[in-house]
Amino acid sequence: MWLQYRANLCLFFLVLISFSIFVVAAGAPLQIRCPIQSLYQLGDSISDTGNVVRLFPIAPSSRRPYGETFPGYPTGRWSDGRLIIDYIALALGLPLLNPYLDKNASFNNGVNFAAAGSTALKSSFFLAKGILPQPVPSLGVQLKWFRKYLKSICSTPTECANKLSRSLVFVGEFGYNDIGFAISQRRSIQEIQNYIPLVTQAVINATREVIKAGASQVIVPGNFPLGCFPYYLFYGASDDPTSYDDLGCLKSVNKLTTFENTGLQGALESLRKEFPNAIILYADYYNAFQSLLREAPTLGFDTTNLLKACCGIEGQYNPLDLGFCGNLLGGRACPNPNVYIHWDGIHLTQEAYRRMSQTLISNLGLNCTQ
């Protein structure tokens, strides 16, 4: 009895010791430090609050019904309303981020460099493979904008580090379009998987640059389960029921984004060792979306339309095609976007982004207003 007790006690201390080692080894806390004075975003249409419409004034997001829920007119956001980055700004107690290309805007609380259609890899990479990307600023171009912006606010490395010391930088999500363009151009899953490590490298390189410039808190989001998105369900439609999971999503496409996310998390772990004083967090968009989809019936979403776009052409998934939503060719929005997860087949509704943001803000400790 005593022996056993002693053994248990030993085990207890052993666990206690390994636990402390674990805590020490984990280093920097897994939460950001409040207050945050400025927020920066590099990304694609998931976070573009108005850059691409300033380059292409005829982009679909420049027209109704984009923006119909918030602010009531199109702003260039690719949704009926707010995006994840808008909810993050609110949680941090900051004004909504202005797009870099809005020359009249205030950038006192940060800048949004995100551009719809942006890839992590250069356009030339895709062109060489015969995959046509969108002619929009890729991650590399957004980094140039970031450097230019920094030059405008500080002139020495110390001064820049000071300016960025109370900032939070979102690098991504990226990878959506690096995968998406290839899928819509009927490339094989294997071909795409082969270059995903390069996508991750590009994201890590960008994160490293941002940290070296002086940012000490960065969040790198992973990719969504794109196999649950109407546009990819449409392009990957299969007669074989085993191609779909229990939620009706395409397994092959979800495996691809899971592959990207796993690689990214591993690479972030190495980056944390490279910069032990920086707070480098992974934002789990994949699981935030999956739990939204699973819990949708209890969250007030219309369960008959969970994989259908609110705005699109009639069909099994109502996917957006060639910009049908907000296009003169047709594609009207559903009467109540609040009960839909998917907005135009590629992007989510404000309500879906709001629910996902609640999960992310709580998991990452992003609430600085309390």
Ligand X SMILES: *[C@@H]1O[C@H](CO)[C@@H](O)[C@H](O)[C@H]1NC(C)=O
Which of the stretches 14-22, 199-207, 322-330, 348-356 binds ligand X when contact is defined by CB under 6 A? 199-207
Pair of tokens at residue 118: 């942006």
Amino acid of residue 257: T
Residue 155 C-beta: closest distance to ligand X, Å: 25
Query: Which CB sits closer to ligand X, 115 or 307?
Result: 115
342 is catalytic: no
Residue 102 C-beta: closest distance to ligand X, Å: 6
321 is catalytic: no
Residues 6+ apart with CB under 8 A from 364: 31, 32, 219, 281, 283
- For residue 282, the surrounding DSSP H or E stretch is strand 279-283
Query: Which CB sits closer to ligand X, 205 or 363?
Result: 205
Residue 205 C-beta: closest distance to ligand X, Å: 4
CB atoms within 10 A of CB 98: 19
205 binds ligand X (CB under 6 A): yes
- Give 36's DSSP letter: P
With CA atoms as reference, report the closest residue to 100 among 76, 133, 64.
76
Question: Which residue in the set 111, 179, 183, 202 belongs to the binding site for ligand X (CB under 6 A)?
Answer: 202
344 is catalytic: yes
Q: Is 214 left (phi over 0), alpha (psi -120 to 50) or beta?
A: left
Residue 213 C-beta: closest distance to ligand X, Å: 15
Question: Which residue in the set 16, 198, 237, 329 belongs to the binding site for ligand X (CB under 6 A)?
Answer: 198
Query: Quick one: 360 exposed, middle or buried, by C-beta within 10 A (0-12, 13-18, 19+)?
Result: buried
Radius of gyration of the chain (CA): 22
Task: Point out the catalytic residue in the list 38, 45, 61, 79.
Answer: 45
- The interface mask with ligand X, positions 70-109, x = CB under 6 A, is ---------------------------------xx-----
Task: Find residue 170's DSSP bridge partners.
Answer: 41, 219
Q: Kindly list the catalytic residues.
A: 45, 344, 347
Which residues are at the interface with ligand X (CB under 6 A)?
103-104, 198, 201-202, 205
